[in-house]
Amino acid sequence: MPHRVSKSDSSATSSGLFDLNLPEVGAGEGPLPNPAPTFAAQVEHAMFLLSIRPPDFYEKRLSRMNSEPFRLP
């Protein structure tokens, strides 16, 4: 027996330009509970992101910055 497609199947292709074909959330369905991250976890993540930058990242970024972002005619 073939598998029945659910109402919230988002893999179907729509012919309408503005039809987003979003899945329908039924009663009792929703996102799983996700507690907010602790401050320590946020700091640890920030330190990780800063540690993976190349050593010359800031010098290259400063050299690419426009010193005069607004020019009047």
What are the tens digits of pLDDT across the range 4-16?
A: 666 556 566 667 7
Q: Look at residue 45 and tell me if it is in a domain.
A: yes
Q: Look at residue 41 and tell me if it is in a domain.
A: yes
Q: Look at residue 8 and tell me if it is in a domain.
A: no
Q: Look at residue 48 and tell me if it is in a domain.
A: yes
Q: Look at residue 73 and tell me if it is in a domain.
A: no
Distance CA 8, CA 24 (A): 5
Task: With cut-offs at 50, 70 and 90, classify the pLDDT of residue 28.
Answer: confident
Q: Look at residue 57 and tell me if it is in a domain.
A: yes
Q: Look at residue 43 and tell me if it is in a domain.
A: yes
Domains identified in the chain, total number:
1
Q: Look at residue 17 and tell me if it is in a domain.
A: no
Pairwise pLDDT comparison (5 vs 21), residue with the higher score? 21
Please check whether residue 22 is in contact with residue 12, taking contact to mean a CB–CB distance below 8 angstroms: no
Predicted structure pTM score: 0.42
Instruction: Give residue 43's domain range.
Output: 37-64
Distance CA 42, CA 37 (A): 7
